């Protein structure tokens, strides 16, 4: 086998994982940065992506396996060796196409190449013990929370919350979905093309797709790298999950309307709104971060959209920064824990502090209260998150409605989503449609006509 070097996939994967584990880098950003700096063959990029995401997704299970074969605690192990062991165990136990001998050999070679040659015997011994013992029988654990947590690789506190909210069966299904590979989903720019035409054009670029099932503007990539297609740069499509697209359907923007997107960065939903409005009207995209205002503007320019204007401001203070009752539609895609998008961003489940969720709930309610003041009587207010935590979803809506008697849940949301809702609210679990976990609520403000 070839000697491991900085240019080889396993070394690159190890360095990305090292940043995620010990520098709290975001996995998707670290991967994108690495691929931009050093472009790779598609087969190598796929391998690195699977090893990085897979190791993070299965982290607590991998650490439990290692803890069963190591004399000393894993936390006391050298940083680089810890990363090598984790990614090697992932390949041994969860990547069927990697032969056992290759996973062990490459782990040892990686230790030598990464300045830990003196520990190659230790790495070899640990990995051989893991290979002999295999994956423990976690489903047989009698404590359902611990069993689900280790068999599906989730923190126990999170599993416990979900079991309390949704029961063991739904929680197990959701956790199993979270460790599956995330699909790449495209949103068709309907101002430039339609779904069938884009699908045909992408195929000539070597990108195969299939129509999505949730959103009529969606295509699911089944083969190839859509990012490399010049049609992306020309604005024929954007990258967006199907569940996220449903937010704009819930909002139901129409041409010549005035729409406020209160928490707009990076601009995907604002762009989708403008596309659905046929770029006729006004979309005010607000975000608290000044540097993200440029991202929204860049996206609008790439897509050829002229109806989007941007501003920087704290959404909690929107009442002071936008005109009251001036907008036909208001969207609050609130900052949240992100615990519905664990397939694509698995590091979230390990980095989230459960105490932060209550803090987020207060912030979400404050933003919703402020943004609602900008809505015209008769208008539609949509609240959405990419989390499946009741505290950030149904609880926020209940508190808002209790404080704002002029708003009612919109029971016509079913018609716009094409899905059954609970009186204007819909929670989408990741296992239902192979999409992100998402919450969407639509409310109407009494009075007026639109």
User: How many Å apart are CA 33 and CA 12, to the nearest integer?
Assistant: 12
96 known ligand binder: no
99 labelled as ligand-binding?
no
Distance between CA 84 and CA 11 in Å, rounded? 9
For residue 128, give Cα distances in angstroms to 10, 69, 70, 151, 298.
19, 10, 11, 22, 51
* Contact (CB, 8 A) for 88 and 69: no
Query: E-assigned strands of 241-280?
Result: 257-261
> Is 263 annotated in some ligand binding site?
yes
**Which residues, including other chains, have CB under 8 Å from residue 292's CB and lie 6 or more apart?**
265, 266
The answer to whether 314 is a known ligand-binding residue is yes
3-class SS at 12?
A: helix
Q: Is 287 annotated as a binding residue?
A: yes
DSSP-derived letter for residue 390 is: G
Contacts of residue 291, Cβ cutoff 8 Å, sequence gap at least 6: none
Closest listed residue to residue 10, CA positions, set 118, 119, 85, 117? 85
Report whether 266 belongs to an annotated binding site. Answer: yes
Q: Is 344 annotated in some ligand binding site?
A: no
Residue 333 among known ligand-binding residues? yes
Q: Is 371 known as a binding-site position?
A: no
Give the pair of three-digit tokens for residue 90.
């992932």
- In three-state form (DSSP H/G/I as H, E/B as E, the rest C), the secondary structure along 132-195 is HHCCCCHHHCCCHHHHHHHHHCCCHHHHHHHHHHHCHHHHHHHHHHHCCCCCCEEEECCCCCCH
- Per-residue burial over 431-444, b if 16 or more Cβ lie within 10 Å, else e, is bebbbbbbbbbbbb
| Cα three-residue angle 380-383-389, rounded to 5 degrees | 155
Q: Decide if 175 is catalytic.
A: no
- 410-415 long-range contacts (CB < 8 A, ≥24 apart) are 410/380, 410/442, 410/443, 410/444, 413/250, 413/440, 413/442
Instruction: Please identify which of the residues 48, 84, 386, 388 carries the catalytic annotation.
Output: 386
What values do phi and psi take at 208, rounded to 5? -100, 140
Pairing of strands 281-287, 257-261: parallel
The answer to whether the beta carbons of residues 265 and 318 sit under 8 Å apart is no
CA distance 11 to 59: 19
User: Is 120 a known ligand-binding residue?
Assistant: no
Indicate the Cα dihedral angle 177, 43, 239, 409, nearest 10°.
0
Active site residues: 386
List, as residue ranges, the binding site for S-adenosyl-L-methionine. Answer: 263-269, 287, 314, 333
What residues are designated binding site? Answer: 263-269, 287, 314, 333
């Amino acid at each position: 086998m070839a000697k491991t070097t900085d240019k080889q996939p396993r070394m690159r994967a190890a360095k990305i994982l090292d940043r995620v584990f010990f520098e709290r880098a975001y996995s998707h950003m670290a991967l994108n940065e690495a691929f931009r700096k050093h472009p790779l063959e598609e087969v190598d990029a796929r391998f690195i992506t699977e090893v990085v995401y897979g190791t993070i997704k299965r982290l607590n299970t991998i650490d439990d396996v290692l803890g069963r074969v190591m004399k000393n605690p894993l936390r006391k192990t050298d940083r680089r060796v810890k990363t090598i062991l984790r990614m090697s165990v992932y390949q041994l136990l969860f990547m069927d196409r990697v032969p056992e001998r290759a996973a062990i050999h490459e782990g040892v070679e990686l230790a030598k190449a990464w300045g830990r040659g003196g520990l190659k015997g230790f790495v070899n011994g640990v990995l051989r013990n893991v290979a002999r013992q295999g994956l423990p029988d976690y489903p047989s654990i009698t404590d359902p929370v611990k069993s689900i947590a280790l068999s599906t690789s989730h923190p126990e506190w999170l599993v416990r919350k979900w079991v309390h909210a949704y029961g063991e069966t739904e929680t197990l299904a959701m956790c199993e979905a979270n460790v599956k590979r995330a699909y790449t989903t495209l949103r068709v720019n309907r101002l430039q093309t339609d779904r069938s035409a884009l699908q045909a054009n992408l195929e000539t670029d070597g990108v195969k797709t299939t129509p999505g099932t949730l959103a009529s503007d969606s295509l699911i990539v089944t083969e190839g790298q859509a990012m490399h297609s010049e049609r992306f740069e020309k604005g024929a499509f954007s990258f967006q999950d199907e569940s996220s697209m449903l937010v704009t359907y819930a909002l139901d923007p129409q041409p010549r309307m005035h729409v406020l997107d209160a928490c707009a960065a990076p601009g995907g939903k604002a762009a989708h709104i403008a596309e659905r409005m046929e770029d006729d009207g006004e979309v005010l995209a607000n975000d608290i971060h000044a540097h993200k205002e440029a991202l929204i503007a860049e996206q609008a320019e790439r897509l050829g959209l002229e109806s989007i204007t941007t501003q920087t401001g704290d959404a909690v203070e929107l009442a002071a920064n936008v005109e009251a009752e001036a907008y036909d539609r208001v969207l609050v895609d609130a900052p949240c824990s992100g615990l519905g998008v664990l397939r694509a961003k698995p590091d979230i489940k390990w980095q989230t502090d459960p105490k932060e969720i209550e803090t987020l709930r207060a912030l979400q309610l404050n933003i919703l209260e402020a943004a609602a003041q900008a809505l015209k009587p008769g208008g539609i207010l949509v609240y959405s998150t990419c989390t499946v935590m009741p505290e950030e979803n149904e609880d926020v809506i209940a508190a808002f409605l209790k404080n704002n008697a002029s708003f009612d849940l919109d029971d016509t949301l079913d018609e716009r989503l094409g899905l059954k809702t609970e009186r204007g609210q819909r929670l989408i679990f990741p296992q239902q449609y192979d999409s992100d976990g998402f919450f969407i609520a639509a409310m109407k403000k009494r009075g007026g006509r639109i």
